[in-house]
Amino acid sequence: MSMSQTASTGSQMSGHHFSPEVHRSFRAFNPLKQEWIPREFKEATPEEIDAAVTLAAAAFIRYRKMPAAQRAAFLQAIADNIILLGDALLHIASDETGLPLARLRNERDRTTNQLCLFAALITEGSWVNARIDTGTPDVRQMRIPIGVICVFGASNFPLAFSVAGGDTAAALAAGCTVVCKAHPAHPNTSEMVATAIRQSAISTGMPDGVFSLIQGATHETGQQLAIHPLLAAIAFTGSFRGGKALYETATRRPTPIPVYAEMGSVNPVFFLPRILQQKGEALAGQFIQSVTLGVGQFCTNPGIFITNGPDLPHHFIESLQKHISTIPAGFMLTPGILDAYNNGIAGLQEQGAELLANTAASLSQASAALLQISAQKVLAGPSIMHEVFGPSTLHISAGNKQELYQLANTLEGQLTATIHGTEEDLREHIELVDILREKAGRLIINGFPTGVAVNHAMVHGGPWPATTPAAGTSVGTAAIGRFVRPVCFQDFPAWLLPPELQDRNPLGIWRMVNGNFSKTL
Amino acid sequence: MSMSQTASTGSQMSGHHFSPEVHRSFRAFNPLKQEWIPREFKEATPEEIDAAVTLAAAAFIRYRKMPAAQRAAFLQAIADNIILLGDALLHIASDETGLPLARLRNERDRTTNQLCLFAALITEGSWVNARIDTGTPDVRQMRIPIGVICVFGASNFPLAFSVAGGDTAAALAAGCTVVCKAHPAHPNTSEMVATAIRQSAISTGMPDGVFSLIQGATHETGQQLAIHPLLAAIAFTGSFRGGKALYETATRRPTPIPVYAEMGSVNPVFFLPRILQQKGEALAGQFIQSVTLGVGQFCTNPGIFITNGPDLPHHFIESLQKHISTIPAGFMLTPGILDAYNNGIAGLQEQGAELLANTAASLSQASAALLQISAQKVLAGPSIMHEVFGPSTLHISAGNKQELYQLANTLEGQLTATIHGTEEDLREHIELVDILREKAGRLIINGFPTGVAVNHAMVHGGPWPATTPAAGTSVGTAAIGRFVRPVCFQDFPAWLLPPELQDRNPLGIWRMVNGNFSKTL
């Protein structure tokens, strides 16, 4: 089957093969044209789901034992083959998501960079966290892959958090096999990327079933996947409702499995008094950019901002109003997301928030919005500090430092928390840093939360309801830790030890030897 | 309040104070004398539970910020004060558990060694897993403590896995505060150790609430603790039923929290043909020692053993029979545990197992037992390979290598899996190692699973139902990882960074700097 053939099946990809079954079908929506895209995609049947996971479990037995260099070559080939899909991929993704080509080009770069980063990580090899204690008994520990990972594609990152996105890259790098549930808003994009993975798997000699793609628009399809007994874990990026439903399903299985769900947050930004005096004007423009970037459709979008003191510079809010009114209305990813956004804004107003400014928009577009509410109202019912996914932000003005801390203390778990302040501001509000450290996975000083660097130190995660469990990250090389578990080998003869744990350290990796990091024994 | 006063309250210890409430009471049982111990202990009221957790949450705010050296001094003081309790502690523990003094003396050493090991770990400091990426943005990650940990004491380790046991040591080392639920089988032992912790907390200047003890014999008391909104995680060592109940409660809370439950396993031991020919006699004696050690009351007790081939040396089974019949009958920890053991043996027989040999025992004692069942019966219904907690082991004879692998494949998740074999045996059964790697947290060659080294490389954990989640360990320094989460600091000014992440590395710890381990930037 050539790539051009495979790119137009609309079917499930079970390992290297496309399934011939016909069940129910669904279509994607073009937000820019406000019309359904004609091409039909087939909802996976329970049998197809079972076949894909069963194949993935069989493939795991071979894949887990492949040397890191081979897995790295596979990841690298996926990156190369995604590039080879050319602009056609970007156009199809744009049709299905309404995201502009320039943004999708960046996202494609991020996707291929992530794949290459994980290829480099496993080629270097120290990620296995090898620990050797040479006492009696001789005990040697390393991380091993856990099995079949079910990756749910995200609506808002059709490339970087979908089929060949961060979760898939981390899972394949770890030595796990993957069954991906495509997000129903961009099935064609998903299929194209899946064919690139398929091509790469074949050309680098990977076992059939190392990766499969499941299409489907119904809740049932996702649930059928989540209860499959051969799954080892689930990775999900999306709404709180969706993540929580998967979490509940997975924890109630006869054999519970972990769900690594990134469910978003309000990403509070605190603007302290002096910095607003010094450069409120400039910050206003940058902040509104962060709020409205990509029509506000980022998990790290700052949904609330909090200022301290009644002497808030008047021009700051005026400046925000001015900036937000210049933001063009935008098309959101799906009509459902637009509805939820509009309902969210209405909900904030019902709870007492005042709309200070917004963008003129047609019925099918999202209007960027600046709202305001008093700290008293928020503290009386903190449920207002929930995520409204889209280009809005809610101002809360604290009357004094104590009220500011009180607001910070009532925050739920967050992906990020940001403080803008001069050194004097920060020294005066040092307790704020302490409070926010308990609330978020990433703390930012004088920056903006949108834009997540993909490196070794990044944490994209945080306490419930931001993610589950709190102790994970879905961005950066540490994300590989979600798909492994430690195993230790006691008194193994040298020849039977994995290379990572052999005395002569044939892979040349960093290891903790009797408590010290070293490359020699 | 002096230690002698506090050691006889029978009440809850909420931070530094003993609670005056009187509610229901319970008593412990002396298994050796087969009589109830007169002293009464008070079942915690819901108010006392709330008070202890609330105090622990308040203490966390101060404790989390204490320098590692201070926390280490606290841990060290606990070890010292436990020693100062003298033989009185051992006698009371022996009365409440029936465990011999020599064993308890060893367990006390293990307990204090664990406390000292964690003190050393946090004094050295690299455990925080610092990662620094000096790009734009500048991102720096480290692990921080998560909050209040509820530790459930274990019945079978009144010292090493109870009040000041491994979970408490790891949690306190991480910077978490602890509310411990004493096991109702040894409330007096628990209270004595709690007073040693209290004394240590006061003498080293720890905040009131850094540690509290809750007494109680009812299921409700444990459940009330588990649903407290201010808990961050639960650590548990005990039965599958108990662990699963806590897991279900914790995952269904409005804000779910992780449960680190160590629920035991059957710890299969595989004896390969050549080694049995060479030294079956010696292995038989050692194996029976491992099965019956401490009346079989270890999580790592080998509940099944599997041999390969019909040409099993007859003398091996004979030797096992001979050895087991010389083992004196033993008193188990509680009458409930003895009942469960006897029911478990009866259940194995009902499922088709044959009793080959056992020890004569009175009604109140546990009879060590050797049973046997055919591989065919096991493969027809693998539910027989569940834990029977106590001094029994079940022989399964595989007809050939394929049947051996089949048996290995049907195993549930395990804490340990062991293979005895000559080099030739192992080379001939290489697939067995691969299969068992997916089943257990610790693999042992030519050793016995009882006895768990406390070091950096140890893994005491494994796939469900051995533990939850699979990716943890409750023994060894890596156990600290259960009570932390990563947080990253983006573009922080130098003065605002925690010392662990400052450029000049004032603590001199190992850090991953731009992907490489180093002690300098």
Closest A-chain CA to B137? A453
* Span A64-99, pLDDT tens digits: 999 999 999 999 999 999 999 999 999 999 999 999
Closest B-chain CA to A447? B491
Q: Does B443 touch chain A (CB under 8 A)?
A: yes
Query: Minimal CA–CA distance to B59: which of B227, B235, B211?
Result: B211
Cβ neighbourhood burial of A83 (10 Å; 0-12, 13-18, 19+):
middle
What pLDDT sits at residue B382?
66
Lowest average pLDDT, out of A185-199, B229-243, B383-397, B498-512, goes to B383-397
What's the gap in Å between the CA of A444 and the closest CA on chain B?
Answer: 5
Residue A82: which residues within 8 A CB-CB, separation 6 or more? A89, A108, A111, A112, A115, A159, A164, A193, A196
**Which conformational region is residue B179 in: left (phi greater than 0), alpha (psi within -120 to 50 degrees), or beta?**
beta
Cβ distance of B491 and A258 shorter than 8 Å: no
Cβ neighbourhood burial of B142 (10 Å; 0-12, 13-18, 19+):
buried
**Chain B residues within 8 A of A428 when measuring between CB atoms:** none
Query: In chain A, which among 216-255 make CB contacts under 8 A with chain B?
Result: 247-248, 251, 255
- DSSP bridge partners of A260: A235
Residues in chain B: 521
Query: In chain A, which among 58-77 make CB contacts under 8 A with chain B?
Result: 61, 65
* Span A229-271, pLDDT tens digits: 999 999 999 999 999 999 999 999 999 999 999 998 999 999 9
B269-463 adopts what CATH topology?
A: Aldehyde Dehydrogenase; Chain A, domain 2 (3.40.309)
Of the candidates A131, A469, A485, the beta carbon closest to that of B456 is on: A131
Q: Which residue has the tokens 């001979």?
A: B322
What pLDDT sits at residue B508?
96
What pLDDT sits at residue B312?
77
The arithmetic mean of pLDDT across residues A318-325, rounded, is 94
Using an 8 Å Cβ cutoff, are A178 and A171 in contact?
A: yes
Mutate to test the interface with B, among A267, A424, A454, A485 (most CBs of B within 10 A): A485
Query: Minimal CA–CA distance to A214: which of A58, A42, A59?
Result: A42
pLDDT-derived band of residue B295, with 50, 70 and 90 as boundaries? Answer: very high
Q: How far apart are CA B258 and CA B235, in angstroms?
A: 9
Cβ distance of B512 and A437 shorter than 8 Å: no
**∠ CA B119-B120-B126, rounded to 5°:** 110
Of the candidates B61, B140, B258, the beta carbon closest to that of A457 is on: B140
Q: Does B10 touch chain A (CB under 8 A)?
A: no
pLDDT at B24 over 70: yes
Helix extents (H) in B293-428: 314-325, 335-350, 375-380, 401-410, 423-428
What pLDDT sits at residue A313?
72
What's the gap in Å between the CA of A450 and the closest CA on chain B?
Answer: 12
Q: How far apart are CA A172 and CA A194, in angstroms?
A: 14
Q: How far apart are CA A261 and CA A181, in angstroms?
A: 14
Show the tokens assigned to B389: 């907690």
Catalytic residue among B150, B176, B180, B299: B299
Q: Which residue has the tokens 């050295």?
A: B124
Q: How many inter-chain contacts (A to B, CB under 8 Å) are there? A: 190
Of the candidates A132, A442, A468, the beta carbon closest to that of B256 is on: A468
The H or E element spanning position A376 is: helix A375-380
Domain A269-456 has CATH 3.40.309.10: yes
Q: Does B508 touch chain A (CB under 8 A)?
A: no
Amino acid identity for residue A224 in this structure: Q
Query: Minimal CA–CA distance to A268: which of A424, A448, A451?
Result: A448
Show the tokens assigned to B27: 């008593």
pLDDT at A465 over 50: yes
The helix/strand/coil state of B275 is helix
Amino acid identity for residue B270 in this structure: F
CA distance from start to end of chain B: 50
The arithmetic mean of pLDDT across residues A326-345, rounded, is 94
Query: Minimal CA–CA distance to A426: which of B128, B137, B489, B486?
Result: B489
Cβ distance of A133 and B456 shorter than 8 Å: yes
Catalytic residue among B43, B48, B107, B262: B262
- A 10 A CB-CB count for A100 gives 15
Mutate to test the interface with A, among B139, B411, B415 (most CBs of A within 10 A): B139
Q: Which residue has better confidence, A304 or B23?
A: A304
The H or E element spanning position A94 is: helix A86-97
Cβ distance of B496 and A459 shorter than 8 Å: no
Q: Which residue has better confidence, B380 or A461?
A: A461
Cβ distance of B487 and A443 shorter than 8 Å: yes
Domain B46-263+473-481 has CATH 3.40.50.410: no
The helix/strand/coil state of A128 is helix
Show the tokens assigned to B92: 């009371």
Cis before A137? omega within 30: yes
pLDDT at B22 over 80: no
Identity of the highest mean pLDDT range in A139-148, A357-366, B353-362: A139-148
Of the candidates A255, A487, A515, the beta carbon closest to that of B441 is on: A487
Using an 8 Å Cβ cutoff, are B437 and B459 in contact?
A: no
Please report, for residues A9, A369, B220, the alpha-carbon distance to residue A75 in angstroms, rounded to integers and kept in the order given.
24, 41, 51
- DSSP bridge partners of B358: B369
Which residue ranges make up each domain of chain B? 46-263+473-481, 269-463
What pLDDT sits at residue A382?
66
Q: Does B423 touch chain A (CB under 8 A)?
A: yes
pLDDT at B235 over 90: yes
Closest B-chain CA to A145? B438
Using an 8 Å Cβ cutoff, are B217 and B37 in contact?
A: no
pLDDT at B2 over 60: no
Query: In chain A, which among 123-182 make CB contacts under 8 A with chain B?
Result: 124, 126, 131-133, 135, 137, 139-141, 144, 146-147
Amino acid identity for residue A290 in this structure: S
* Span A415-426, pLDDT tens digits: 999 999 999 999
Residue B279: which residues within 8 A CB-CB, separation 6 or more? none
Mean pLDDT in chain A? 95
What pLDDT sits at residue A233?
98
Sequential DSSP letters for B86-103: HHHHHHHHHHHH---HHH
Q: Is B299 considered catalytic here?
A: yes
Of the candidates B457, B463, B493, the beta carbon closest to that of A139 is on: B457
Pick the CATH number of A15-263+473-481 from 3.40.50.300, 1.10.3720.10, 3.40.630.30, 3.40.605.10: 3.40.605.10
pLDDT at B3 over 60: no
Q: Does B461 touch chain A (CB under 8 A)?
A: yes
Please report, for residues A121, A423, B392, the alpha-carbon distance to residue A185 in angstroms, rounded to integers and kept in the order given.
32, 45, 57
Q: How far apart are CA A139 and CA B478, in angstroms?
A: 13
What pLDDT sits at residue B136?
94
Sheet of A177-181, strand order: A17-18, A13-14, A211-214, A177-181, A148-152, A231-237, A259-262, A467-468
**Chain A residues within 8 A of B131 when measuring between CB atoms:** 456-457, 478
Using an 8 Å Cβ cutoff, are A488 and B458 in contact?
A: yes
DSSP state of A358: E
What pLDDT sits at residue B46?
95
Of the candidates A478, A485, A512, the beta carbon closest to that of B486 is on: A478
Query: Minimal CA–CA distance to A163: which of A122, A212, A121, A205?
Result: A212
Please report, for residues B81, B190, B293, B377, B401, the alpha-carbon distance to residue B103 in angstroms, rounded to integers and kept in the order given.
20, 17, 10, 38, 39
Phi, psi (degrees; rounded to nearest 5) at B469:
-70, 170
What's the gap in Å between the CA of B323 and the closest CA on chain A?
Answer: 25
Q: How far apart are CA B373 and CA B351, in angstroms?
A: 9
What's the gap in Å between the CA of A48 and the closest CA on chain B?
Answer: 25
Using an 8 Å Cβ cutoff, are B176 and A486 in contact?
A: no
- DSSP bridge partners of B143: B486
What pLDDT sits at residue A275?
96
Using an 8 Å Cβ cutoff, are B119 and B76 in contact?
A: yes
Catalytic residue among A96, A107, A262, A403: A262
The H or E element spanning position A281 is: helix A273-292
pLDDT at B311 over 80: no
The percentage of residues in chain A with a pLDDT greater than 90, rounded to a whole number, is 91
Q: Is B180 considered catalytic here?
A: no
The arithmetic mean of pLDDT across residues B92-111, rounded, is 97
Strands (E), A174-268: 177-181, 211-214, 231-237, 259-262
Q: Which residue has the tokens 């944490």?
A: A459
Q: How far apart are CA A133 and CA B456, in angstroms?
A: 7
Q: How far apart are CA B432 and CA B486, in angstroms?
A: 36
Q: Does B469 touch chain A (CB under 8 A)?
A: yes
CA distance from start to end of chain A: 50
Q: How far apart are CA A149 and CA A146, in angstroms?
A: 8
Phi, psi (degrees; rounded to nearest 5) at A185:
-80, -20
Closest A-chain CA to B120? A515
Residue A449: which residues within 8 A CB-CB, separation 6 or more? A267, A269, A290, A300, A301, A302, A415, A416, A418, A442
Query: Minimal CA–CA distance to B164: which of B113, B239, B121, B204?
Result: B113
Phi, psi (degrees; rounded to nearest 5) at B25:
-130, 165
Q: How far apart are CA B429 and CA B439, in angstroms?
A: 16
**Chain B residues within 8 A of A258 when measuring between CB atoms:** 469, 471
The helix/strand/coil state of A25 is strand
Based on C-alpha coordinates, what's the Rg of chain B? 24
